Amino acid sequence: MSGKAFSKVKMNFLSSRDKQLSRMGVRVPREEMSFSNYLSKCFSNKLPGSGTENCEVDLPLKSWLPREPPSDFNSRYDNITAQLGEINPWSRLMAWREHIFEAGWNDIMAILESITGNDREEREDLIERLYTGRLHRRLVVGPSGSGEELRPNPMGETLVDSLLHGSRRWLIVPYSELLRVSESAKEALEPTSAFMFFEEKLVELREEFGLRDYYECQQQPGDVIVVPKGFWSVSLATKDSISVREPYVDPFDKGRLVSLINSLVFK
């Protein structure tokens, strides 16, 4: 991305105090700022947790990358792998992302073929923009110490996160396990930043309320984290991090895909 294009990228940003109010159910206005101003605001020399814990943001990936890869896209990364003599994380990421994209897009096109009427072209355009923009791939950026609260997958689907740079600590837990401890651990499960969750809440949930059935891991560049449908997750940037994050509809769950499109586009 050129410097001129870079300066045009805008995002909605909430301050730490506003995010706390938002978690309490208070509606607060979002501040629109340029990505360069965001970098100045959130990537300065601050200790994690003191000013960066609410700095994770996400943007449509198409704001940053060309829609179609160059003709030498695959061979470029194959050559890098050969030169290094080892598996290159970029090659793994590209394979995962293209598989996910193609599988989901083929399902959507199959549904579109059954649509009739004068507004079919308009509906196709809406779905395409939604799928390649807000709904499908997001570029998730955050400084060390940042991360959102424990929450379910977007749209209730499988979540896939491919880390490009940095490192993240993940906790993934089935909803049934949260439900089991929720009655006695209501305060410990109140929305909070990822930093505070790992610093205080996880120990409390584990030692005082018996949280047992969960998965924890450290994600490095090239690692792909898959959060299955029906699970909740929280991730903390342990280094300044960038990843591609996208929901994935099971290609065998056509009924769910139809319902998802109807709720987002046709209603």
Residue 11: Cβ-neighbour burial (10 angstroms; 0-12, 13-18, 19+): middle
Question: In the numeric block, which tokens belong to residue 199?
Answer: 């610093």
SS3 245: strand
Evaluate whether 54 touches 31 at the Cβ level (below 8 Å).
no
AA letter at 74 = N
In tens, the pLDDT along 160-188 reads 888 888 899 999 999 888 888 887 877 77
Average of per-residue pLDDT values in the chain: 69
In tens, the pLDDT along 121-140 reads 666 565 555 544 444 677 88
In tens, the pLDDT along 237-247 reads 999 888 888 87
Does the pLDDT at position 66 exceed 70? no
pLDDT at 215: 92
pLDDT at 4: 46
Which pTM does this prediction carry? 0.65
Q: Which letter does DSSP use for residue 197 in this model?
A: I
With bands split at pLDDT 50, 70 and 90, how would you rate the model's confidence at 12? low
Residue 128 CB neighbours (<10 A): 15
Does the pLDDT at position 249 exceed 90? no
| Contacts of 180 by beta carbon, 8 Å cutoff, 6+ apart | none
What is the C-alpha separation between 46 and 36, in angstroms, rounded? 17
What is the C-alpha separation between 91 and 80, in angstroms, rounded? 9
pLDDT at 179: 86
More confident call, 194 vs 118: 194
The class (CATH top level) of 55-266 is mainly beta
Residue-range domain boundaries for the chain: 55-266
More confident call, 91 vs 137: 137
Residue 207 CB neighbours (<10 A): 9
